[in-house]
């Protein structure tokens, strides 16, 4: 009887390590499952936050374009300007004669009609206006005023438009000019029609830059 009891105890002791290993294995698997679940939930939350941010940005951009369209309703309806992705386009032939940076009467009148709505739009959104000059790829020809190249011509045209808008009431600290010469064409320069489209001035509202001094503090 004592021998049978000893054999039973020995059997139980022999099986105990098996159950201990099985328990450890299950604990490890459960821990791994919980870790994977936490990672998946974290990735889903990050993706959801990113999608929500992108949606808000798209809605803000759509509202911005709608507001700009409303501000320029008159000139847009008359076909005197174009509005594509927030960029206001004016044909170079409307503003200037060939190889010239002097505003034509029609161009000055158009800029006069744009000054007030643009000024109100920029003030309401605390933005500034970027005026960009573009040309075709043909070398400039001599005229009332000569330019070294298309870069110089596009720069002077952008400055002329910026100054005209300032004269019509647009705050000087809410506008700046940029020149792109023959770069960034919107059509082929192989024919006259395409070159006419590339000779243009564009205006685009952009966020007002925040200047910071050393130490990360904003400059007044």
Residue 117 CB burial class (10 angstroms; 0-12, 13-18, ≥19): middle
Could you state, in order of their start, the residue ranges of all structural domains in the chain?
A: 19-47, 72-207
Q: What's residue 105's pLDDT?
A: 93
Where on the phi/psi map is residue 35: left (φ > 0), alpha (ψ -120 to 50), or beta? Answer: alpha
Low-confidence ranges of the chain (pLDDT < 70): 1-24, 57-58, 60-63, 141-145, 211-220
Quick count: other Cβ atoms within 10 Å of Cβ 199? Answer: 23
Nearest by Cα to 186 from 82, 98, 79: 82
Instruction: Report CA-CA distances (Å) from 158 to 78, 132, 153.
Output: 23, 6, 9
Output the pLDDT for position 136: 92
Q: Cα separation of 130 and 87, whole Å?
A: 9
Burial class (CB in 10 A: 0-12, 13-18, 19+), 102: middle
H/E element holding 159?
A: helix 150-167
pLDDT of residue 127: 93
Pick the CATH number of 72-207 from 1.10.3720.10, 3.30.1330.60, 3.40.50.170, 1.25.40.80: 3.30.1330.60
Is residue 126 within 8 A of residue 208, CB to CB? The reply is yes
Q: What is the pLDDT of residue 159?
A: 96
According to the 3-state scheme, what is the secondary structure of 49-65?
Answer: HHHHHHHHHHHHHHHHH
Model pLDDT for residues 191-214, shown as the tens digit of each residue: 999 998 999 999 999 998 876 344
Q: In angstroms, how far is CA 207 from the centroid of its own chain?
A: 10
pLDDT for the residue numbered 176: 96
Dihedral, CA atoms, 168, 172, 176, 177, nearest 10 degrees? 50
């Amino acid at each position: 009887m004592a021998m049978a009891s000893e054999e039973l105890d020995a059997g139980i002791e022999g099986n105990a390590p098996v159950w201990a290993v099985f328990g450890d294995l299950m604990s490890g698997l459960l821990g791994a499952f919980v870790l994977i679940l936490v990672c998946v939930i974290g990735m889903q939350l990050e993706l959801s936050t990113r999608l929500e941010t992108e949606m808000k940005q798209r809605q803000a951009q759509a509202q911005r374009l709608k507001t700009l369209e409303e501000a320029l309703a008159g000139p847009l309806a008359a076909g005197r300007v174009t509005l594509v992705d927030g960029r206001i386009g004016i044909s170079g032939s409307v503003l200037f004669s060939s190889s010239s940076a002097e505003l034509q009467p029609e161009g000055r009148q158009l800029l006069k009609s744009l000054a007030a709505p643009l000024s109100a739009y920029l003030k309401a959104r605390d933005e500034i206006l970027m005026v960009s000059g573009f040309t075709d790829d043909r070398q400039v020809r001599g005229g009332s005023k000569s330019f070294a190249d298309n870069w110089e011509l596009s720069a002077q045209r952008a400055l002329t438009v910026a100054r005209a808008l300032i004269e019509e009431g647009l705050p000087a600290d809410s506008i700046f000019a940029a020149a792109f010469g023959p770069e960034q064409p919107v059509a082929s320069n192989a024919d006259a029609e395409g070159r006419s489209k590339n000779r243009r001035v564009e205006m685009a509202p952009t966020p007002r830059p925040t200047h910071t001094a050393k130490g990360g503090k904003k400059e007044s």
